[in-house]
Amino acid sequence: MRKTIVILCIHIALYAKVMQGQTLQPEYYRDIEPLIVRHCIDCHYDGGPAPFALSTAEQVKKRAGFVAYVTDIRYMPPWKANPDFGVHRNARVMTDEEIGLIKSWVESGMKTGRPGKKTKSKKAAKNISEPPNTVRLFMSKDYQIQSDRKDDFRFFYLPYSNNRDEFITGIEFIAGNKQRVHHSRIMVDTSGMVAGIDGLSEADTSIYRYQKKPLADEFLYGWVPGNFTFRFPKGFGKKLHKNSGFVLNMHYSPSALKETDKSSVRLTLEKSENIRREVKTFILRENDISNKPFYIPAESERTFYISSGIIPQDLSLLTVQPHAHLLGKSFRAFAITPDGDLIPLIQIDKWDFNWQTTYEFPRLLHIPAGSVIYMEGTYDNTTANPVNPNVPPLDVGYGWRTVDEMMNLIFYYTEYQPGDENLVLEY
Ligand code: HEC
């Protein structure tokens, strides 16, 4: 009898301890791993775009203080849009509770706990076989990346030469050399006049020869690490005109190593009979600036204002993407409807050249005819801008090169149809 009571007491004590642990002390497998899987593992896996993996309890514990810090200051997961101004489907934002949980796990001594049955600590291996309906276009040859410890900005031309119009429903950039490819931008040309750009450095001023006339699509897709495949909702597609070619604007990180890269682009194509809605691109550019010229003198900060003018037809927006280079500081874009309502589109309080993303709306966003879209952008060309490419600063104007500046607002849209606001988009 006494033995039973003792055992019972031990059990109660243990149970109380467990309960206490559950309510007070977060454990890795139960509380933290789900957060890491949801918010970090897309990039922080072995061989992924981030510099180290966070796939196991040991790996996370090793950097736990740092993990708590970068989430607390909202540096990670990287997401530049202000969540209070516009809603985006692909937002990577942690709640205050989630951030607090990581912090208290670190402060309470990082208990590991037991792996649950459903533990998913590793990202599934990427499917490397070519999916159906896709074509993969490679750079024509291995490019020898500069090994002078400087950033290397290049253009490459990928001929495609389709002999009829097609529809793109998805696009993926596949970095050849993952360590060195920092980001890339994919543009489409139909003029057949830019093949000579292949391999050209941005520092080569002959580049200006190719930018006299805008390309068919200057912003088909912008890739940063972790911005994997871009896909249009089911039934939506973007027309790829016949005789298209692709221009890759590549940025390679500095290194002293002699390395090469051969990146590629994978397009998912669909027959036109399967496309219900055609996606088009609408771009506001430097020409739409109301306080021209677009010119940022050395040691100055300038704010520019772009207006679309009155939009003549109803639009349904799928995405928005601001674009600028290293002097960008903050951006905001919104629409004002004929009734005077403000529709928030995007706000980036701290522009980061390295994390430019296509911001997707969760549903089609209706912009009624008669609306005006506005964008304001501030540029910092002072020495106080830590990423100013010129030390001391130089006067900067428009240009494709990273040391020049741009101010664009790019939309994927489709013509509005009644009921679009409630359409559930499938991906
Ligand atoms: C979209 C991809 C992506 C996601 C998602 C992501 N990271 Fe990162 N992370 C990176 C890249 C790329 C770097 C290296 C470049 C840098 O430091 O900005 C990095 C760097 C870091 C660093 C080092 C920072 C430094 O200053 O050296 C830490 C710590 C980190 N990430 C933690 C996390 C945690 C924790 C999460 C999830 C809450 C997360 N990351 C989500 C891509 C990502």
Ligand 1 pocket by C-beta < 6 Å: which residues? 39-40, 42-44, 49-51, 63, 66-67, 70-71, 76-78, 92, 225-226
Q: 277-427 architecture in CATH?
A: Sandwich (2.60)
Mutate to test the pocket of ligand 1, among 43, 353, 356 (most ligand atoms within 8 A of CB): 43
Lowest mean pLDDT among 10-19, 22-31, 174-183, 281-290: 10-19
Bridge-based pairing state of the strands 236-240 and 277-284: parallel
Distance between CA atoms of residues 336 and 372, nearest Å: 5
**Closest CA to ligand 1's atom 16:** 50
Atom of ligand 1 nearest to the CA of 92: 5
**Closest CA to ligand 1's atom 8:** 76
The rounded Å distance from CA 244 to ligand 1 centre is 36
Of 370, 160, 321, 336, the C-alpha closest to 245 is: 160
Q: What pLDDT score was predicted for residue 205? A: 85
**Closest CA to ligand 1's atom 31:** 76
Reply yes or no on whether the pLDDT at 53 is more than 90: yes
Are 190 and 243 a contacting pair, CB within 8 Å? yes
Lookup: tokens for 181: 């490819």
Full 3-state SS string of 194-251:
CHHHCCCECCCHHHHHHHCCCCCEEEEEEECCCCCCEECCCCEEEEECCCCEEEEEEE
* Range of 55-64, 113-122, 397-406 with top mean pLDDT: 55-64
Q: Enter the CATH code of domain 131-275.
A: 2.60.120.310
Atom of ligand 1 nearest to the CA of 227: 1
Helix axes 96-107, 64-72, angle to 10 degrees: 150
Are 367 and 335 a contacting pair, CB within 8 Å? yes
Question: What mean pLDDT is reported for the chain?
Answer: 89
The SS3 assignment for 74 reads coil
**Closest CA to ligand 1's atom 33:** 76
**Closest CA to ligand 1's atom 13:** 50
Q: What pLDDT score was predicted for residue 128? A: 46
Lookup: tokens for 366: 């209706």
Q: What pLDDT score was predicted for residue 117? A: 67
6/344: higher pLDDT: 344
66/118: higher pLDDT: 66
129: confidence class by pLDDT, cuts 50, 70, 90: low
Same fold, 131-275 and 277-427: yes
Average the pLDDT over 351-359 and give the result. 89
Reply yes or no on whether the pLDDT at 357 is more than 50: yes
Q: What pLDDT score was predicted for residue 14? A: 46
Reply yes or no on whether the pLDDT at 10 is more than 80: no
The string over 77-106, giving b where at least 16 C-beta atoms fall within 10 Å of a residue's C-beta and e elsewhere, is bbbbbbeebbebeeebebeeebbebbbebb
**Closest CA to ligand 1's atom 12:** 50
Lowest mean pLDDT among 7-21, 32-46, 296-310, 318-332: 7-21
The rounded Å distance from CA 50 to ligand 1 centre is 6
Q: What pLDDT score was predicted for residue 271? A: 87
130: confidence class by pLDDT, cuts 50, 70, 90: low
Reply yes or no on whether the pLDDT at 160 is more than 70: yes
Reply yes or no on whether the pLDDT at 187 is more than 50: yes
Atom of ligand 1 nearest to the CA of 226: 1
The rounded Å distance from CA 76 to ligand 1 centre is 5
Say what the pTM is. Answer: 0.85
**Closest CA to ligand 1's atom 36:** 40
**Closest CA to ligand 1's atom 7:** 77
121: confidence class by pLDDT, cuts 50, 70, 90: very low
208/67: higher pLDDT: 67
Lookup: tokens for 123: 């990202």
Lookup: tokens for 188: 């489409």
List pLDDT tens digits, range 61-81: 999 999 999 999 999 999 999
Mutate to test the pocket of ligand 1, among 35, 42, 44 (most ligand atoms within 8 A of CB): 44
Average the pLDDT over 378-407 and give the result. 94
Residue-range domain boundaries for the chain: 2-107, 131-275, 277-427
Length of the chain: 427
Atom of ligand 1 nearest to the CA of 63: 29
**Closest CA to ligand 1's atom 37:** 40
The count of C-alpha atoms lying within 13 angstroms of the C-alpha of 283, restricted to the half-sphere facing its C-beta, is: 15
